[in-house]
Amino acid sequence: MENTGSIDSLGSKRSSSRQPSVDSLSSTSTSRSDRSAHAAKPTFAMSSDNVSISTDFSPELRGRPKAVAKVLRDSKEEPQLLPKESVQDMAKDVTYICPYIGALRGTLTVTNYRLFFKCMDREPAFVLDLPLGVVSRVEKIGGASSRGDVSYGLVCKDIRNLRFAHKQMEDSLRKSIFEILMKCAFPVSNGLTIFAFEYGQVYPENGWKVYDAQAEYKRQGLPNESWRITKVNDHYELCDTYPSTLVVPVNIPDEELKRVAAFRAKGRIPVLSWIHPESQATVIRCSQPMVGVNGKRSKDDEKYLQTIMDANAQSHKLFIFDARPSVNAAANKMKGGGYESEDAYQNAELVFLDIHNIHVMRESLRKLKEVVYPNIEESHWFSNLESTHWLEHIKLILAGALRIADKVESGKTSVVVHCSDGWDRTAQLTSLAMVMLDGHYRTIRGFQVLLEKEWLSFGHRFQLRIGHGDKNHTDADRSPVFLQFIDCVWQMTRQFPAAFEFNEYFLITILDHLYSCLFGTFMCNSEQQRVKEELPKKTVSLWAYINSQPEEFTNPLYVNYSNHVLFPVVSMRHLELWVGYYIRWNPRMRPQEPVHQRYKELLAKRAELQKRVEELQREVTNRSASSSSERAGSPTRSITPVQTFV
């Protein structure tokens, strides 16, 4: 895409939406430099809802620009640096082999935060700019070729691979820039600090204060006559992967909780995630019971679930949703785990949701990447897509959440959700069900609360699943569980375009910063670790950045039907691949102008007209004050043909 970054030079907002999304991380940064050269007004290109450009440096992300110096530097080959960002190495005459444009020769810069490549031969300059956190693996491809070129491949977590080549170093003592890159890209493996701990940008709001467990439970009407907030896990002694604030049945004293914890994997006892404001049906999450091969039982656990059922007077039944395929659940008995037998748990009905484990999901994403990057095979697109099973997994997850939401809403029944440990599939299911059931979680702030609560505080192991700064790319603990969840949310926003306050760009931004290591939000594996590492003190929260410019992430079509339950259709007919995320690097798949764009124009037009009408009205009142007797005959008479559009 030769004209990456020509957004501002074209000067038209409408046209900007068609700017390429290829290497769009870079495209913004170019436009950003143009922008900062023009004025300090940091309005994003309107298009950004669809194009991913989050790991970028919108002016808000960086420190106050020192205007003159920056402008001068922009024409050069270095990136604009964030506060505390420092250049580690720089190499000229590096070739970036773009799968869409071809070989590009330019300057490569590596900082402690990013990789920056700029090719000045093109007009406008081609820029590639990505946070090092995105890099999953750096490898030297082949030996030196006849021309003396060395080639390096970068496998990225955000569905792309980059390839560079440069001349063999004559001075063999000097380290190649890629060796520097390998060091900086994996700070954890190399004893360095992750950049999030250095980034010192100050935002108007402290994003770490977005979620307050007490306040969230209070919003749900808790505690109430059946449910209490317990302090038993204040010091993470009951369960080190759970949050300190837990909601449990009133009738169960803390002592009994400890006995229940002994029967649940990793001590993750059943606790309340969400309560229906009317029926009092609840969504409960936990880990698998330690049944084992001998079918061990726990009176405490049985009583505990009975109490949960009794807390909801509307139903005499309890549904236990085991996210796993029944085969896998049974296999877990060999390792001491298992599932609740309906004999032991009276009035409980067990349902398996057939969602596969993290390894299957990882493999599915790998296949998906093969199908969509760099090029799409036109002729068998759908068959290839089907062979990845990615959307089938999405369907299963959504279907599971749908069944949970349906039981709670239509059946007025409380549900218990677990998988093996209760931090992957369980998090997906409870949070999706809560998005369906509670309109609050469909707002920008509500969604942040949901992530903080169901994912972060309940110990989804982000550090392990993403592998921040860790060079061990083959680690079997890595898995796109959170990506799948965001994908599911995106599927819902497609089906209900007016039901979510946030837009696609918001979701993409979250995913980009999941990897970027710029914010502390997705660091560590549990609340306990975050407290120990003093993340709120040492890092900036992603929500601080997002909430500093909510208009960028707002869906203009949002209609607040907050107490409306959304039941998405989970048929393959309505599921589609999220092109705006998975295929965003392909310039041909650049999103068409979204409706939002057009809609925003309408909103602007409306505002303008309103202003003019008000002005006129003022004038009218002034005049009519002087000559009140005169009236136009019929107000409809002077209607002219409607001419609305911009």
What residues contact residue 244 under an 8 Å CB cut-off, 6+ apart? 213, 231, 233, 234, 235, 236, 527
Instruction: Give the nearer residue to another protein in terms of CB position, either 146 or 571.
Output: 571
CA 145 to chain centroid, in Å, comes to 41
| Segment holding 165, helix H or strand E | strand 160-167
Site string for another protein, 551-590 (x = CB under 8 A): ------x-x-x--xxxxxxxxxxx-xx-x---x--xxxxx
Site string for another protein, 445-464 (x = CB under 8 A): ----------------x-xx
Residue selected from 316, 342, 534, 599 as contacting another protein according to rule CB under 8 A:
599
CA 175 to chain centroid, in Å, comes to 36
Confirm if 239 and 261 have CB atoms less than 8 A apart. Answer: yes
CB atoms inside a 10 Å sphere around CB 605: 13
Q: What angle, 0 to 180 degrees and rounded to 10, lies between the N-to-C axes of helices 481-495 and 358-372?
A: 60
DSSP string of 519-538? SSTT-SSSHHHHHHTTHHHH
Residues 297-326 contacting another protein, CB under 8 A: 325
Minimum CB–partner distance for residue 124 and another protein (Å): 11
DSSP string of 275-299? E-TTT--EEEEE--B--TTTT---H
Question: What backbone phi and psi angles, to 5 degrees, belong to 302?
Answer: -65, -45
Confirm if 135 and 115 have CB atoms less than 8 A apart. Answer: yes
Q: Which window, 109-117, 270-278, 300-308, 403-411, contacts another protein (CB under 8 A)?
A: 403-411
Residue selected from 161, 477, 549, 562 as contacting another protein according to rule CB under 8 A:
477
Contact flag: residue 75 with another protein (CB under 8 A)? no
Indicate the residue type of 4: T
Residue selected from 10, 71, 87, 350 as contacting another protein according to rule CB under 8 A:
10
Contact flag: residue 625 with another protein (CB under 8 A)? no
159 marked ligand binding residue: no
578 marked ligand binding residue: no
Residues 185-224 contacting another protein, CB under 8 A: 188, 194
228 marked ligand binding residue: no
Q: How many residues does the chain have?
A: 646
Contact flag: residue 333 with another protein (CB under 8 A)? no
Instruction: Give the nearer residue to another protein in terms of CB position, either 409 or 501.
Output: 409
Question: What backbone phi and psi angles, to 5 degrees, belong to 163?
Answer: -130, 130
CA distance 611 to 605: 10
424 marked ligand binding residue: yes
Residue selected from 2, 212, 254, 278 as contacting another protein according to rule CB under 8 A:
2
| Segment holding 367, helix H or strand E | helix 358-372
Minimum CB–partner distance for residue 406 and another protein (Å): 5
Nearest to 47 by CA among 544, 563, 486, 592: 592
Residue selected from 55, 328, 457, 503 as contacting another protein according to rule CB under 8 A:
328
Instruction: Give the nearer residue to another protein in terms of CB position, either 59 or 497.
Output: 497
CA distance 342 to 278: 28
423 marked ligand binding residue: yes
* Ramachandran quadrant class, 88 (left: phi over 0; alpha: psi -120 to 50; beta: rest): alpha
119 marked ligand binding residue: no
Contact flag: residue 296 with another protein (CB under 8 A)? no
Q: Is 617 exposed, middle or buried (0-12, 13-18, 19+ CB in 10 A)?
A: exposed
332 marked ligand binding residue: yes
CB atoms inside a 10 Å sphere around CB 64: 9
CA distance 330 to 545: 45
User: Parallel, antiparallel, or unpaired for β 348-352 and 271-275?
Assistant: unpaired
Instruction: Give the nearer residue to another protein in terms of CB position, either 428 or 547.
Output: 428
Site string for another protein, 163-192 (x = CB under 8 A): -------------------------x----
Contact flag: residue 293 with another protein (CB under 8 A)? no
User: Parallel, antiparallel, or unpaired for β 102-111 and 114-119?
Assistant: antiparallel
- Which residues form the catalytic set? 419
CA distance 558 to 372: 31
Contact flag: residue 404 with another protein (CB under 8 A)? no
Minimum CB–partner distance for residue 644 and another protein (Å): 5
Q: Which window, 55-63, 126-134, 508-516, 593-601, contacts another protein (CB under 8 A)?
A: 593-601
Minimum CB–partner distance for residue 80 and another protein (Å): 25
Instruction: Give the nearer residue to another protein in terms of CB position, either 169 or 376.
Output: 376
Instruction: Give the nearer residue to another protein in terms of CB position, either 310 or 470.
Output: 470
Residue selected from 529, 548, 549, 562 as contacting another protein according to rule CB under 8 A:
529
CA distance 385 to 30: 33
How many chain residues are in contact with another protein, going by CB under 8 A? Answer: 123
Confirm if 338 and 420 have CB atoms less than 8 A apart. Answer: no
Instruction: Give the nearer residue to another protein in terms of CB position, either 149 or 533.
Output: 533
Q: Which window, 228-236, 249-257, 448-456, 612-620, contacts another protein (CB under 8 A)?
A: 612-620
Site string for another protein, 359-398 (x = CB under 8 A): xx--x------------xxxxxxxx-xx--x-xx--xx--
Contact flag: residue 439 with another protein (CB under 8 A)? no
Residue selected from 185, 523, 542, 544 as contacting another protein according to rule CB under 8 A:
523
CA distance 187 to 398: 36
Nearest to 38 by CA among 74, 78, 79, 81: 74
Q: Which window, 134-142, 206-214, 467-475, 501-509, contacts another protein (CB under 8 A)?
A: 467-475
CA distance 596 to 13: 13
Site string for another protein, 626-645 (x = CB under 8 A): -x--xxx--xx-xxx-xxxx
Instruction: Give the nearer residue to another protein in terms of CB position, either 257 or 371.
Output: 371
CA distance 456 to 3: 40
Q: Specify binding-site residues for substrate.
A: 332-335, 357-358, 419-425
